[in-house]
A and B are shown apart, each in its own frame.
Chain A
Amino acid sequence: MPDARLRWKTRLFAAIVVLSNAFGNFSLKWGMDRQAALTLSPLDYIRAILSPWVMLGISLLILWLLTRMALLSWADLSYVLPVTSLGYVANALMGRFFLSEQITPQRWAGTLLIVGGTVLVGMGRPRTGTES
């Protein structure tokens, strides 16, 4: 497959992975905050899963999972992982701006370090091949 097409396809899938993860987790958190505290009873989980926000969150996370698995079929795990963790950072931002979470300077610093790490890893080629 031509390099340019692979790079374009990789970026498109990576963008879907990041966005579906951020919005999926946000929706899940929003829904779970409105549920009674979970116990070990499966009924608690079933009730929570059937609520609209949690269901939306799960649907987006299923999209995230399938897109990420597809990406893994041609890209290295050590490339896909940091792309996923970029989604973790988007989640921290959503927590701050949409859930009014208090984020200490230390937590922001941690988030920025994660961004730095992901950028470093993302600059490499997605498929390096394996050792023979």
Chain B
Amino acid sequence: MRAWFLLGLIVASSVASDLLQSREMKSHGEVRGFRWLGALTRKAGLILAVAFMAVSFFAFMALVQVADLSFAVPASAASLVFETVLARVVLKEQVDSRRWVGACLVASGVVLLAR
């Protein structure tokens, strides 16, 4: 039960973090060199993304103590399914049918891992 709660927390906070990261990094533009790292301290969206990532990470530290690595890590891939949908809906990315099929395969894989 504790493992499932931790997994839910990991998935929800990674989805929030990834969407924010993609939006903020795209608005920054393609990076060259290391000067872009300064954006980590200036963009509120990136700071929030890092905060969500921290929540996800601390939950993950607790999860690996109570679950196998071969379960914990692939099961977190459940976030990919939510993120593909949100990449289409929120970020307006053009997700073609191949990517949709890929995301569905990943979703099925995660279901099998969870059983």
- Asked whether any CB of chain A lies closer than 8 Å to the CB of B98, the reply is yes
Query: Considering the complex, which residues of chain A in the window 77-123 have a beta carbon less than 8 Å from any beta carbon of chain B?
Result: 77-78, 80-82, 84-85, 87-89, 91-96, 99, 101, 103, 106-107, 109-114, 116-123
Contacts of A1 in B (CB 8 A): 30
Output the residue of B19, B36, B61 with the most chain A CB within 10 A. Answer: B61
Chain A residues at the B interface, C-beta cutoff of 8 Å: 1, 25-26, 28-29, 32-33, 35, 37-38, 45, 48, 54, 61, 65-66, 69-70, 72-74, 76-78, 80-82, 84-85, 87-89, 91-96, 99, 101, 103, 106-107, 109-114, 116-124, 128-131
Choose from A28, A81, A91, A95 the contact partner of B61 (Cβ within 8 Å): A28
Contacts of A88 in B (CB 8 A): 73-74, 76-77
Q: How far is the CA of A109 from the CA of B29 in the complex (A)?
A: 39
Q: How far is the CA of A119 from the CA of B94 in the complex (A)?
A: 18
Supposing A81-B84, A131-B92 touch, asked if A92 and B22 sit within 8 A by C-beta, the answer is: no
